[in-house]
């Protein structure tokens, strides 16, 4: 059974979009761009974390050994 992938929560997207706004020095007129970038960043982070969790133990052990 496949799990439904949720969109990032509105509050999280708003927080990241606001951080982007502040990093730009509070420059007006980029609200939609900031929102879309925030959604993409949160989605990428979610998928990155999900891929770490889904790797089989054997693959993780082999990766750990290769780092030595």
Name the DSSP letter for residue 24. Answer: T
CA-based torsion, 62, 64, 67, 68: positive or negative: negative
CA-based torsion, 14, 20, 26, 29: positive or negative: negative
pLDDT at 16: 97
pLDDT digits (tens, 9 = 90+) for 9-66: 999 999 999 999 999 999 999 999 999 999 999 999 988 887 776 666 655 565 666 6
Whether 1 shows a pLDDT value over 50: the answer reads no
Considering only residues 50 and 1, tell me which one the structure prediction assigns the higher pLDDT: 50
pLDDT at 43: 92
Whether 3 shows a pLDDT value over 60: the answer reads no
């Amino acid at each position: 059974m496949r799990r439904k992938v949720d969109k990032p929560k509105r509050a999280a997207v708003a927080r990241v979009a606001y951080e982007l706004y502040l990093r730009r020095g509070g420059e007006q007129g980029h609200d939609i761009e900031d929102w879309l970038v925030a959604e993409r960043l949160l989605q990428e982070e979610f998928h990155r974390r999900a891929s770490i969790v889904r790797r089989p133990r054997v693959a993780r052990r082999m990766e750990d050994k290769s780092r030595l």
